[in-house]
Structure 1
Amino acid sequence: MADLLENEQTRKQLIEQLRTQAPTVKDTSAASQSTASGSVTDDSLPRRVADSTQYFLTKLLDDMGDATAAIGAMARGENIGGPGMADWKTTLINFALVIAATVIAFIVLRLLAARIFAFINHWAGQAPPATVRRRLAGPATLRKIAAVIAALIVDVIAIALAGAVGYAVAMSVAGPNASVGTFDSLFVNAFVAVEIAKALVRTVFATRFARLRLFEMRDEVATYWNAWLCRLVGIAGYGMLVIVPVITALFTAALGNLAGLLIMLGMYVYAIRVVWRNRTLIRERLVLRASVASTAFFATLLRLLARVWHVLAIIYFTVLLVVSQVDPVEALPFMARATLQSVVAIALGLLVSAILTAILSHPIRLSDDMRTRLPLLEARINSYVPATLKGLRFITLVVVLLFVLDGWHAFDLSAWVMSESGKATISVVVHIAIILLFAALAWTIIASIIESRLSGTGTRAPSAREKTLLALFRNAALIVIVTMTILILLSQIGINIGPLIAGAGVVGLAIGFGAQKLVQDIITGIFIQLENGMNVNDVVEAGGVFGTVEKMTIRSVGIRTMDGGYHLIPFSSVDVVANHMRDFSYHMGEYTIAHRENVDDAIEHMRAAFAELMQDEVLSPEILEEITIPGVTAINERGVTIRVLIKTTPGMQWAIQRGYNRLLKKHFNAAGIELPYPHTVVYFGQDKDGNAPAAQVDLGRKADRSSPPKGRAPAAGHTPRPLSRAKSGSEDVLGNELEQRVPDEDDQV
């Protein structure tokens, strides 16, 4: 130690090393003091950035001062070289030989590799077989991907061989018993690292071989960006890994740091200038590329990148400048590792997203037996694909973002995964995915079975009652599954659902007491459905309203009346349900004839009218039995009333009524049977002797009119017509009084 301190140069180097380690010592002592005092050290990202910035500025000022002193010493002719540099001329000559041998070997190997690149480029341009072409989607075929990877491997092999040549030359010039010089090993290592980085750049742009280019772009664009990036990589790599260490070894650390600062500042200004000048051009090209993207996900990412790409580039080069001055030794390795990890994470994320898109873009096909039993299951499963794809893409995006932050030391991914919070978060995500999977599976099976039955794809078409009950059960199952899923998910993310369930019970009890009418509606509706009291499209009379049932829920029924009015009736208001569409119906007609007519003759004509009705091709299939005429049901001041009963299919009683009334009127007209008018008694008065004045009545008969046969005088107001078959059809009277309605699945609640 005494000998080192006596030498001025070694003393200055020792001081430089102590200054380099000073921030670490200060941080350690500060941490120890804060721990001893009971406080917690602030290790957050803003605090680390502030400390690094402060250290960067302090070190920059110190280096500038030391560099000024060293330059002044050099101007005065003082020797400022490091220890062991007496033979620096020999070292520099050997260093130059290693550089020349490595560069010449690399040029020769690149010329040889160019032939291989040409062959691979030609192979990549060949069209794949038709069978293969049908299996591939998009411009990036497997053949092109294989060609790009093969070209990269060849390029890396050429770089490795050139590095091996340089290392062999370094060993030969060092002698049989000597080790490779520091400068020689620095250059060879820097050469391999920098040229591999350039090889990755050439993989993206491939200026000479367009088919080996990773992305489609014009040749002039590829040439421009390839030259710019390779220039940046070369300046930063060789400058920080070779030039700065050589200056530091030959002169002082302060001059080396100053040289590194100048190199990085020049590179930074040049890079920012190029980025800012091309910001609009790159934005337009990214937006154009997004307009032809295969999926909306990639299009959104490209549009977002088009807006912020120049900001990200400026931040990247700014971080590179700062890190290179804060820690010159580890700056470039850190940036290389962070950049490589970010690029690999993004590439893998895009690859996973593309694979998911390729897999899920094709519809899922079930077996023929499954499609026969559950024809709607396949369509329902395929309806989940877009949401599943979005969820998987979101998870992929989050994972890629975490890996990128971990690469830049903004987030310690491995420590977080091993921590309790990380394990808990991953466990929660997995549990949530499993819960959603089982919930979707349960709902898919239940809904597919119910909808398959409702669609009538089985051996027997569902009845109206089955449709109503199945629709109600489907909605009830959906409510139960959604409620249970939400409660389980809340419990998984750490929310105590015990008070929630207890509170829901109390609220339900309060609602039950305050909404007794609602409870009565629901209970009555359940029993009406179970007892098959009414179904959609039934013609019923409920709650004093007569019409067609349009909609039924578990609480109310919607009835459409003949005037078009829609009546919503709660089931608690329904005391009696009169269903006119159950099993069979009756046309019950009561027809009144005049007192002077013969009842037996009228009944015969009623049967004759029914016989003609049975000849109708449209109405006769709707009649179930022969006509029933119970007889005279009333004798009053208007006449004699005869009842008729005709049994029909459900809902066809009104059509039969219209058809029978038309035929009966025709037969009564032909037979001269009077349907009585209202009667009025005219009183002419009388004198006190009981004599009435004579009535002057002019019957208005013409002399040429013949008198009707005895007993066959026509009724007043009636015109006798011969009996003939009606020419008009009966389609105009077919159907119910009210129009039926086909409900859809949204009508059931």
Structure 2
Amino acid sequence: MPRHSRPLVRTAALFLFTLILAAASPTAPVHAQSPQSPLQAATIDSSANPDAVIAPLLDVLKDEAARQKLIESLEKSTAVPADAAAANADTAAQTTVAGRLAGMTKNVIEETLAVGHKFARDLSGLATLFNGASEFDGGHVLSMLTPLLATVVVSMLLLMLCKRGLRSALARLSGRFQNHGFLAALALVGLYFLAEILALALAYFAGSAVAAALSSGTGVSIYQTLYLNAFLVTGAASILIRVLTGIAQGDYAVLRMAPSVRATLRRRAIVLTGLLIYGIAFVVPAANVLVSFSVGRGLRVLVYTLAAIFAVCMVRAISRQQQIAAELPAQEPTEEGDAAVDDALPEPVQSAFMQLWPLIAYGYVAVSYVIALSRPDLFVEFVGGATVRTALALIVGGLVLRGCGYLSTFTVRTPAFLPLDSQALSNRLTSFVPILLRVVWLLVSVAILAVVLDAWSIVDVGGWVEGDRGSAMIAGLVSSLIVVVSCIVIWAAASSWIDYRMATSAGTSLLDSRYRTLYSLLKNALTVALVVFGGMIALSELGIDIGPLLAGAGVLGLAIGFGAQKLVQDIISGVFIQLENAMNVGDVVGAGGITGVVERLTLRSVSLRDLSGVYHIIPFSSVDSVSNYMRTFSFHVEEVGIAYKENVADGKAAMQEAFDRLQQTEHKADILEPLEMHGVTGLGDSAVAIRARIKTAPGKQWGLGRAYTELVKQVMDERGIEIPFPHTTLFLGRDKAGKTDELPVKLLQEAGKSGKAASRRKRASTDDVLANDGNAIPESDD
């Protein structure tokens, strides 16, 4: 932006620029910058030697004429310091905040009045068309109007016919491209774009041919040339607008808006573009040539005013359409890539942008209108160029976001010969897509803001980027982003490989369990290493010195080592437990007084789930011993009690038969050796204990044992072997003579309701009753 146009921008943003200028450093006083006068120089030089000026001064005082001149010069010199003091007072007043605000207000008022005066003066030029002050040549206008109208009719009519013909031809092909992916849609948009360009080119060359044919040997008139140039620029701008808002029958738009919003934007933007281009590039120059420059200036003001009013109405209409579309259900399905971008962008940011963009658009229209009125020569150069750069930044940023969204929908497929789990790798990379899209959205937003600030000459972003500091910062940011993305890809690939190895080693052997445990620990260690080292490298690429960070980390680690001895003990114990292969994921172990299945192992703790489903996290520092129930093999110990009256050999045969039946079930593969019969292991109060043991595969002893116990009960019942429960035998005893002691029982006779003896019931007195399991022992009727 040229230097003399910057006050116009400050006029449009009065308050903001006032505060900025108020915070600026004060300027030096004016008199401090003025050069020394010869008299002052002489005074300074002679002050060092007073005798050098006494003799000349005496000569002057003795001469009457010279004395009079000295008096006049002294009188003049006394007036200068007074004026300088007043100027210095004004300058001092301007160095304060209040003075600056007053100066800024004064400048703004003066510039506003100047703009208003210029607006009224330019608009009054239209009155010369009606008061006869202009040199309007009607005959010349009629002579040039016929070839101009012929050129306009031929170019417009041919453009409409070519567009209709080409669009109807492409409409038959659009059905073949729909629902065939992104590349098919891109090809369809390219065909429509080429068709629009072809139609515009044919119409332009046809209009040029008509203009040349009607020139009558004098050449194409300046008016026809102005029209054809405006026609070409307007057509190109219309094609660009259609590409942004949906060139293929309103579909496949770059801008992601509702169809009704896109249609409103497309219609009104094309009309606004035509009004500005035809008005400024054709009507105003033609009026300058045909009538006068004052009429041309008036028409220019009129065109700008109508365009500003139309632009404000367009912003209101689009904002209203967006509100209506937001309340209605979606009129077209959201593509997967666009849905990914919507999910990545924070909802408050989207809603804030929807509310703020009309205000930004109104501000843009106001600033452009002020510049168009005050500096018309800068409107096309400055406002037009800044608008084009801003629009291109928004379009490119939107395309980058949509492209990233479509890339996130692609599935990562690895070659079959690579030992990777493609599905796991795709899922892991997909999980980082929202985060990466948020980062890309932030970077794109910063880039768009930088382009806008540079385009409107608010901040010299281009100079900063070209400087050493800016280029170094951007290079460091790109390098750190590459490091972070590389770490994410490495982590996803390594984790997928670990998952693949864990899935392929999902057997029951000890070695497979060991591999799964080590792979799990390797994944955790790799994650920590990538986060630590990747973060340090990224920080170093940003220009941050990581030396103090490493030193601080060492001191912090030492402090943590003293303050978290329990944690250190957990990690050291966990390392030795893993080195000794005491437990693996999937083992049933007893640790810390809790028995359960190992679900997770880290360097600090083990996670167990017991039989009741309770999840326990046990630090290794609290594990004194580890009992592993699944190391190499297991045993099921079966101990059966039979009655004393039964034969022990029969009991052993029954247990062997139950084992033979067990080998005919699905548990046969889990039995490693024949039944190991231990025989009688004890004589209990009411049973003879017989024990046998079955050697099983690791972890199979519980299911196999339940099935074997059930078969033992079944065989014992079939053979009539009693499995006793606790009994109590009453023995009255005998004396030396062989006489059995009597059991004192009192007999009670109860009469029935009929008066006859109904029954005899044995009932003992309270002190003489002997009980067995709570039942009184009856006496025989004999």
- Indicate the TM-score class for this superposition, using the shorter chain for normalisation: 0.5 to 0.7
> Residue 618 of structure 2 aligns to a residue in which SS?
strand
Deviation at 1:466, TM superposition (A): 2.2
- Comparing 116-125 with 189-198, greater Cα deviation is found at 189-198
- Comparing 333-342 with 425-434, greater Cα deviation is found at 333-342
Give the letter aligned to residue 497 of structure 1: I
- Please list, as runs of the form range in 1=range in 2, the aligned pairs for 1:688-703 lying within 5 A after superposition: 694-696=740-742
Find the partner of 2:171 among 98, 102, 125.
125
Deviation at 1:53, TM superposition (A): 5.1
Give the letter aligned to residue 474 of structure 2: I
Residues 366 and 154 (structure 1), Cα distance of their counterparts in 2 relative to 1, 3 Å cut = farther
Instruction: Report what 2:468 is aligned to.
Output: 420
Unaligned runs of 5+ in 1: 1-18, 24-29, 82-87, 174-183, 699-715, 718-749
- Distance in structure 2 (CA, Å) of the matches to 1:266 and 1:106: 23
Find the partner of 1:107 among 110, 129, 153.
153
> Residue 644 of structure 1 aligns to a residue in which SS?
strand
Residues 441 and 244 (structure 1), Cα distance of their counterparts in 2 relative to 1, 3 Å cut = same
> Residue 614 of structure 1 aligns to a residue in which SS?
helix
Instruction: Report what 1:369 is aligned to.
Output: 417
Unaligned runs of 5+ in 2: 9-23, 34-90, 96-100, 254-258, 745-771, 774-782
- Distance in structure 1 (CA, Å) of the matches to 2:218 and 2:231: 21
> Residue 494 of structure 2 aligns to a residue in which SS?
helix
Residues 635 and 35 (structure 1), Cα distance of their counterparts in 2 relative to 1, 3 Å cut = farther
- Distance in structure 1 (CA, Å) of the matches to 2:123 and 2:705: 119
> Residue 504 of structure 2 aligns to a residue in which SS?
coil
Instruction: Report what 1:407 is aligned to.
Output: 455
Deviation at 1:473, TM superposition (A): 1.7
Deviation at 1:440, TM superposition (A): 1.7
- Please list, as runs of the form range in 1=range in 2, the aligned pairs for 1:303-342 lying within 5 A after superposition: 307=355, 310-342=358-390
Give the letter aligned to residue 417 of structure 1: V
Residues 492 and 327 (structure 1), Cα distance of their counterparts in 2 relative to 1, 3 Å cut = same
Q: Confirm or deny that 1:625 pairs with 2:661.
A: no
Deviation at 1:427, TM superposition (A): 0.5
- Please list, as runs of the form range in 1=range in 2, the aligned pairs for 1:339-488 lying within 5 A after superposition: 339-358=387-406, 360-370=408-418, 376-381=424-429, 384=432, 387-388=435-436, 391-392=439-440, 395-456=443-504, 463-488=512-537
Give the letter aligned to residue 468 of structure 2: E
Deviation at 1:423, TM superposition (A): 0.8
Residues 48 and 157 (structure 1), Cα distance of their counterparts in 2 relative to 1, 3 Å cut = farther
Residues 94 and 464 (structure 1), Cα distance of their counterparts in 2 relative to 1, 3 Å cut = same
Deviation at 1:147, TM superposition (A): 1.4
Residues 604 and 155 (structure 1), Cα distance of their counterparts in 2 relative to 1, 3 Å cut = same
> Residue 173 of structure 2 aligns to a residue in which SS?
coil
Instruction: Report what 1:231 is aligned to.
Output: 275
- Comparing 478-487 with 265-274, greater Cα deviation is found at 265-274
> Residue 457 of structure 2 aligns to a residue in which SS?
coil
Residues 528 and 680 (structure 1), Cα distance of their counterparts in 2 relative to 1, 3 Å cut = farther
Q: Provide the aligned C-alpha RMSD in A.
A: 5.6
Deviation at 1:221, TM superposition (A): 9.3
Find the partner of 2:655 among 609, 612, 627.
609
Find the partner of 1:493 among 532, 535, 542.
542
Contact 2:125 2:297 in 1 (8 A): no
Deviation at 1:477, TM superposition (A): 1.2
Instruction: Report what 1:586 is aligned to.
Output: 635
**Deviations along 1:344-400, whole A, 9 cap, x unmatched?**
444444445555555554434333333777664355445555555555455445444
Contact 2:264 2:318 in 1 (8 A): no
Q: Confirm or deny that 1:554 pairs with 2:600.
A: no
> Residue 603 of structure 2 aligns to a residue in which SS?
coil
Give the letter aligned to residue 551 of structure 2: A
Give the letter aligned to residue 480 of structure 2: I
Contact 1:593 1:675 in 2 (8 A): yes
Residues 427 and 554 (structure 1), Cα distance of their counterparts in 2 relative to 1, 3 Å cut = same
**Deviations along 1:677-709, whole A, 9 cap, x unmatched?**
5888978798xxx989742489xxxxxxxxxxx
- Distance in structure 1 (CA, Å) of the matches to 2:7 and 2:722: 129
- Distance in structure 2 (CA, Å) of the matches to 1:73 and 1:146: 46
TM-score, normalising length: structure 1: 0.67
- Comparing 470-479 with 551-560, greater Cα deviation is found at 551-560
Give the letter aligned to residue 368 of structure 1: A
Deviation at 1:560, TM superposition (A): 4.0
> Residue 122 of structure 1 aligns to a residue in which SS?
helix
> Residue 368 of structure 1 aligns to a residue in which SS?
coil
**Deviations along 1:385-443, whole A, 9 cap, x unmatched?**
55555554554454444434443333444323312343123202310221023202211
TM-score, normalising length: structure 2: 0.65
Instruction: Report what 1:531 is aligned to.
Output: 580
> Residue 417 of structure 2 aligns to a residue in which SS?
helix
Contact 2:598 2:607 in 1 (8 A): yes
Deviation at 1:447, TM superposition (A): 0.4
Residues 51 and 162 (structure 1), Cα distance of their counterparts in 2 relative to 1, 3 Å cut = farther
- Distance in structure 2 (CA, Å) of the matches to 1:68 and 1:344: 34
Give the letter aligned to residue 511 of structure 1: I
Contact 1:472 1:554 in 2 (8 A): yes
Contact 1:605 1:667 in 2 (8 A): no
- Please list, as runs of the form range in 1=range in 2, the aligned pairs for 1:72-83 lying within 5 A after superposition: none
- Distance in structure 2 (CA, Å) of the matches to 1:51 and 1:188: 47
Instruction: Report what 1:506 is aligned to.
Output: 555
Give the letter aligned to residue 694 of structure 2: I
Q: Confirm or deny that 1:198 pairs with 2:246.
A: no
Contact 1:585 1:651 in 2 (8 A): yes
Residues 369 and 55 (structure 1), Cα distance of their counterparts in 2 relative to 1, 3 Å cut = farther
Percent identical among aligned pairs is 26
Deviation at 1:124, TM superposition (A): 2.5
- Distance in structure 1 (CA, Å) of the matches to 2:428 and 2:589: 36
- Please list, as runs of the form range in 1=range in 2, the aligned pairs for 1:5-16 lying within 5 A after superposition: none
> Residue 586 of structure 1 aligns to a residue in which SS?
strand
Contact 1:538 1:549 in 2 (8 A): yes
- Distance in structure 2 (CA, Å) of the matches to 1:692 and 1:156: 144
Residues 432 and 262 (structure 1), Cα distance of their counterparts in 2 relative to 1, 3 Å cut = same
Contact 1:151 1:212 in 2 (8 A): no
Deviation at 1:543, TM superposition (A): 2.7
Residues 316 and 654 (structure 1), Cα distance of their counterparts in 2 relative to 1, 3 Å cut = closer
Instruction: Report what 1:85 is aligned to.
Output: none
Instruction: Report what 1:268 is aligned to.
Output: 308
Give the letter aligned to residue 324 of structure 2: E
Instruction: Report what 1:515 is aligned to.
Output: 564
> Residue 627 of structure 2 aligns to a residue in which SS?
strand
Residues 648 and 440 (structure 1), Cα distance of their counterparts in 2 relative to 1, 3 Å cut = same
Find the partner of 2:320 among 271, 276, 280.
280
